[in-house]
Amino acid sequence: MTTRRLFLGALPVAALTLSACSTTRTAKEVIDSVGLPPRPATPNDAIKALADGNARFATNAPQVRNTADIELLWTSGIDQKQEPFASVLGCADSRLAPEIIFDQFVGDIFVVREAGNIAVSPTNLGSLEYGQAVLKSKVLVVLGHSDCGAVNAAYTNAEPGGNIQSIVDAIKPVIAGATSLEDAITRNVRAVKDRIRKDSAMLREAEQSNDFAIVGAYYDITTAVVRFL
């Protein structure tokens, strides 16, 4: 963990250095060096692209895409439309930034975040439906994580009050019987997957077409590793 933090801390300096060296690169040279954005043909390919990205992040080897490269890629198509290959429903926890932990670029992941990654409201479900129906993402990852405060509040029967209570109340019933916080977090992820299938005909039917999948995952913030459930 210490090593990874040191590495990330050094990134801005490295990026500045590379940026200064690459101002004359063409868009083709940039694409040749960093690769085209992932365009997985199947849900399994999309999951593999995310898993590969997390492996890069967790082993201190993320893709380097500096400012000049980003500008070139931006004007080579991403300024005209977005084509994210995956959607992520993640907790709002500040340590869970999906683009970073999956080592993806702007435009690659359609992200909806809410404490406890619960997707109870029609607006959140609507955002997820947009990611699949309009943007054609191949997979929706319901992403829980270790040390989740929202799930822990439900697991310990906390009563935070205010509107925070509605988050705790949404989680409590689906983690009944959990034997540990990690067990509660994975139970919540599985329950949210089931809730999405139940409450969104659009996503349920998309999954039945086999051109889209809803999967769960657990991010361990101490190891930086995402485990697909």
Q: Write out the residues near Zn ion by the rule CB under 5 A.
A: 91, 93, 148, 150
Distance between CA atoms of residues 61 and 8, nearest Å: 10
Closest approach, Cβ 152 to Zn ion, in A, equals: 8
Query: Closest CB to Zn ion among 73 and 148?
Result: 148
Burial 43-76 (b: 16+ CB within 10 A, else e): beebbebbbebbeebbeeebeebbebbbebbeee
Tell me the CA distances in angstroms from 213 to 56, 64, 68, 88, 146, one per residue in order.
23, 29, 35, 12, 23
What's the full length of the chain, in residues? 229
Query: Closest CB to Zn ion among 121 and 208?
Result: 121
Tell me the CA distances in angstroms from 123 to 114, 127, 200, 204, one per residue in order.
11, 6, 11, 17
Closest approach, Cβ 139 to Zn ion, in A, equals: 21
Query: Closest CB to Zn ion among 85 and 218?
Result: 218
Distance between CA atoms of residues 148 and 50, nearest Å: 21
Closest approach, Cβ 104 to Zn ion, in A, equals: 20
Closest approach, Cβ 150 to Zn ion, in A, equals: 5
Residue partners of 46: CB distance under 8 A and separation at least 6: 38, 40, 85, 86, 137, 138, 139, 213
Query: Closest CB to Zn ion among 111 and 150?
Result: 150
Closest approach, Cβ 155 to Zn ion, in A, equals: 12
Report the 10 Å Cβ neighbour count for 164: 15
Closest approach, Cβ 115 to Zn ion, in A, equals: 6
